[in-house]
Structures are given as structure tokens and as C-alpha cells.
Amino acid sequence: MDMEIVFPGGAQVDAVLSNGMVITTDQDGSAPAPFTLFLSAIGTCAGIYVLSFCKQRGLPTEGLRIVQRNHTNPLTRMVEEVTLDIQLPPDFPEQYKEAVIRSANLCAVKKHIENPPRFDVRTSVRDLESA
């Protein structure tokens, strides 16, 4: 999926996706900061897999949630551990508890962090006449 990163003003930086959707970020607080979106992608991705797992099996989802805790090293200020606590409804069947964890571990964001892509950052001159 390609995207174009644009600078609409102030500290706002948007990602315009190839389908036209826009993801807005802002360091000044009018939208989530880019790093906040990055971290939220971990929990929401796992959430998609957990919700799908439950719906496919007709399992209860009322009250289902994931609490994500990001543990940061105070010296490096880097996140060293992410904990996802899948909080299940009281009537959630015991036999599915390990399986729901396995479903969360299928998250594509988590897999990409565990096996990171290479980055190639470069510059080019934009042709404004063809834009």
C-alpha cells in the first residue's frame, strides 16, 4: 500500500492512502502523534484478531477489551516491552482462553515488529508541473 505524506500546516502531518483515506497526526495535540498511532496499531491489530476469533465461534464479546501497557526504559526512552492484557467477559469459556491469546499473536503489526523491514530513506525532486 502506497501513501503520500503531506504537511497541511502547523505541526500536522497527514498520510493520504491510495484509497483516499487520510490519517491525521499532530504533535500539538489536535490529533494523535505519529508514535501514539504506531503504538495503538499494536493493540488494535491484536483486537481485530481477537474479535474475529470470538465472532467466528459465537463467543461473548460484551465487556471484551484489551489493555495495552507500554513499558519504556527511562534511560533510552525506548519501549522495551508491550503487554496486551486481553480482558475477557465473565462468561467466556475456559477452553478458549489460550486460543484467544494465539489469535492475538497473529497480528500483522506484531509480526512486522518482530521481523522488521529494511528502510530506504532518500530524496528526489518533485515535478510540480505534473502534480
Domain ranges (residues) in the chain:
1-31, 42-114
What is the per-residue pLDDT for 22? 97
Q: Give the three-state DSSP class for 73.
A: coil
pLDDT tens-digit series, residues 37-92: 999 999 999 999 999 999 999 999 999 999 999 999 999 999 999 999 999 999 99
Q: How many residues does the chain have?
A: 131
Q: Specify whether the CB–CB gap between 23 and 15 falls below 8 A.
A: yes
Class (C level, CATH) for 42-114:
alpha beta
Q: Specify whether the CB–CB gap between 23 and 17 falls below 8 A.
A: yes
Is the confidence at residue 114, as pLDDT, over 80?
yes
What is the per-residue pLDDT for 131? 59
Q: Specify whether the CB–CB gap between 66 and 85 falls below 8 A.
A: yes
DSSP notation for 101-123: HHHHTT-HHHHHHHSPPP-----
What is the per-residue pLDDT for 126? 86
The pTM (predicted TM-score) of the whole model is: 0.87
End-to-end CA distance of the chain: 20
Q: How many CB atoms lie within 10 A of CB 25?
A: 19
pLDDT tens-digit series, residues 2-30: 999 999 999 999 999 999 999 999 999 99
Residues in contact with 37: Cβ distance below 8 Å, sequence separation at least 6, in sequence order: 23, 25
